[in-house]
Amino acid sequence: MLSFLPAALRGTIAALLLALNTLFWASLLIPLSLLKLLPIPPLQRLLTRVLIRIAEIWILGNSGWMHLNRRIEWDIQGRERLDQNGWYLVTSNHRSWVDILALQHALNRRMPMLKFFLKQELIWVPVIGLCWWGLDFPFMKRYSKAYLEKHPEKAGQDLATTRKACEKFKTTPVAVFNFLEGTRFTKAKHDQQQSPFRHLLKPKSGGVAFVLDAMGEQLRSLVDITIHYPDGDPTFWDLLCGKVRSVVVRCSIRPIPAEFLGQDYQNDAAFRERFQQWVNGLWEDKDALLDQLYQQYPKRN
């Protein structure tokens, strides 16, 4: 434990450990990823499993430096029903940059590794972009409404490209993750939106609808995650400095209504309204759960 060190020094050491952990495993992951370019399906499937194991060890390494910094109190419920061989759509409320590392720690090897739909341009991020590519994170190219008005011939191509990128998930379990709020919660954003929820921003259903349109036949269930920090929303620097004392995570598995599969969210107004109502219902339940968690875990000084 490094708790005897000044917080700033702990943060510097943790940042260094995070960087070294990332660079070390990336140095193994990237060369193996390039081997997947060989058109040999059995080799590609084997390498996919190996690369996922490398990513899981990277997550364990991050859990290691978090534990070294501070013995965080983890209260995690609902993950015992998850299956590492399942196909899931996963969503969560978004409180902090800490959320990603916290959820990776809570769910590592309990379900398939969380994967995000990424903008195509992010593949060029140094080191990490190639890691995302090697781990089969789906890269998507979304055209704006204004662009499609000028280039109607491009209509539907973004979805077709994404579907093609997701074909590999027919044989490999996957957990596709999406923050429905689209951004981190702050009181200023909450007030600006005039959000009807007490602890949440308004959910945006378009991203999830796009995932279901592209992968609906493969995703079996929705994993609805609620994350709460009893001592207030931490910054990433707070995590590095060992200032995060406790994290509460609740996992709920819900069926994905069959009526929402294979629908045209962009052009079907009636479906869009039904889908948004379903998402709002999820958020109402989450808001009520957060009410309970705020009462169960009052903020400490």
Domains assigned to the chain: 73-296 (3.40.1130)
pLDDT band at 290 (very low <50, low <70, confident <90, very high): very high
pLDDT in tens, 22-66: 999 999 999 999 999 999 999 999 999 999 999 999 999 999 999
pLDDT band at 119 (very low <50, low <70, confident <90, very high): confident
DSSP percent split of the chain into helix, strand, coil, nearest 5 = 50, 15, 35
The answer to whether 105 and 63 are in contact (CB under 8 A) is: yes
pTM of the model: 0.90
List the structure tokens of 111.
Answer: 């379900």
Q: What is the pLDDT of residue 149?
A: 66
Average pLDDT over residues 74-78: 97
Distance between CA atoms of 117 and 101, rounded to whole angstroms? 17
**Residue 69: exposure state from Cβ atoms within 10 A (0-12, 13-18, ≥19):** buried
Q: Which of 98-107, 153-162, 197-206 has the lowest mean pLDDT?
A: 153-162
pLDDT in tens, 152-183: 666 666 666 667 767 777 778 999 998 999 89
Query: β-pairing, 246-255 with 221-228?
Result: antiparallel
Is residue 100 predicted with pLDDT exceeding 90? yes
Residue from 250, 252, 223 nearest 90 by CA: 223
- Of residues 240 and 168, which shows the higher confidence score? 240
List the structure tokens of 150.
Answer: 């000028």
The answer to whether 251 and 227 are in contact (CB under 8 A) is: no
Looking at the DSSP assignment, which residues form a beta bridge with residue 75? Answer: 248
Q: What is the pLDDT of residue 161?
A: 65
pLDDT band at 301 (very low <50, low <70, confident <90, very high): low
Q: What is the pLDDT of residue 166?
A: 72
**DSSP label of 196:** S
Angle, alpha carbons 227-29-91 (nearest 5°):
20
Q: Which of 92-106, 152-166, 210-224 has the lowest mean pLDDT?
A: 152-166
List the structure tokens of 56.
Answer: 């899981």
Rg value, the chain, Cα: 20
For the chain, the straight-line distance linking the first and the last C-alpha, in angstroms and rounded, comes to 22
Is residue 151 predicted with pLDDT exceeding 70? no
On average, the pLDDT of the chain sits at 90
- Of residues 280 and 118, which shows the higher confidence score? 280
Distance between CA atoms of 241 and 18, rounded to whole angstroms? 12
